[in-house]
Amino acid sequence: MSEPEPVEQPRFRHAEEEVREGWEDIHSPQTTSAAYRLAFQDNEFLLQPALRPVRFQLELLKPELLLDEARIASTFVFYGSARIPPPDQAQALIDAAASPAERAIAERLAAKARYYDVARELARFAAQYPVSASGWRNFVVCSGGGPSMMEAANRGAADVGAKTIGMNILLPHEQAPNRYVTPELSFRFHYFALRKMHLSMRARALAVFPGGFGTFDELFELLTLIQTGKMKRIPILLYGREFWNRVVNFEALAEEGVISPRDLDLINWVETAEEGWAVIDAFYACEALGTC
């Protein structure tokens, strides 16, 4: 008797084969009805409100499988405004202002343009973290995939030839992925919640630059996850102390008793790429020794 085939070998034909050999050439009232379409090929069916839980699952699963295939063990996530110009475009933004009020805003944005170079340099540090003996990558640079500070992060990784992740979001006014995202690691999400979940699941460090509602949302969610013990502590770097102290009074939150004074220790105030990477290096050296 011949040896049985290995258990892991599939016993059923792959769905792709079945689809290719389907009934496309048979046209009848039955086969042309929407009801006859295979469920996973029927967009009208998949986009029904009742199928939202299934879409959640798909949006969670697709990036997870592709990140595993790419052997991404952990990420270094960068957050920041999509409106801060790169240094070489800062003056043009000011010159385009149509009123004194617009000019004042443009000047404040242009003053933050230096963080583009800081994010790019910090991403270069992270992207050169050695690949493990088994081929897994750690501290892979990951951003929201858009322009400005997100572009700077992806660009820094691309500068040294490293893979870099972009997690774009479907918006009413389409935001295209920046050109520095590795194409096979360029994802697009419909649900902000699922996107944020992927941004945090593999995160081993977080760099946050001045930003608006989206940056606030992502930063405070991660702080809350760590504060409540849902997530292990990771280094959180905040760039632009002058900006953050103007728009958020963190000390007042502690003084009012709505957070613990210890919660302020979750934030590391830094200004340069070297300072940021030193914080991360010290954090994981301390964790490895068990002396934190």
Q: With respect to residue 149, please indicate whether it lies within any of the assigned structural domains.
A: yes
With tokens 């953050």, the residue in question is 244
CATH for 282:
3.40.50.450
pTM: 0.89
User: Taking Cα atoms as reference points, which of 160, 198, 214, 211 lies closest to residue 182?
Assistant: 160
Whether 59 is in a domain gets the answer no
Burial class (CB in 10 A: 0-12, 13-18, 19+), 151: buried
CA atoms of 141 and 72, how far apart (whole Å): 10
- Domain count for the chain: 1
CA distance 227 to 229: 6
Q: Say what the pLDDT of residue 37 is.
A: 84
What CA–CA distances, in Å, run from 13 to 6, 16, 21, 271?
A: 16, 8, 11, 56
**Is residue 20 situated within a structural domain?**
no
Domain range for 201 is: 73-86+113-289
pLDDT tens digits, 128-185: 999 999 999 999 999 999 999 999 999 999 999 999 999 999 888 767 899 999 999 9
Going along 154-216, which residue ranges are E strands? 165-169, 186-189, 203-208
Classify residue 228: in a domain, yes or no.
yes
Whether residue 7 is predicted with pLDDT greater than 80 in this model: the reply is: no
**136 lies in some domain:** yes
Q: Is the pLDDT of residue 10 over 90?
A: no
Domain for residue 28, yes or no?
no
C-alpha of 202 from chain center: 10
Torsion of Cα atoms, 180 then 186 then 190 then 196, to 10°: -80
Which amino acid is located at 247 in the chain? V
For 121, phi then psi, to 5°, come to -70, -40
Residue 141 falls inside a structural domain:
yes
Q: Is residue 25 part of a domain?
A: no
pLDDT at 17 over 90: no
DSSP run (H or E) holding 76: strand 75-79
| Cα–Cα dist 180/190, whole Å | 22
Q: Which residue has the tokens 């920041």?
A: 80
pLDDT tens digits, one per residue of 205-263 = 999 999 999 999 999 999 999 999 999 999 999 999 999 999 999 999 999 999 999 99
**Distant-in-sequence, close-in-space partners of 265: CB < 8 Å, separation ≥ 6:** none
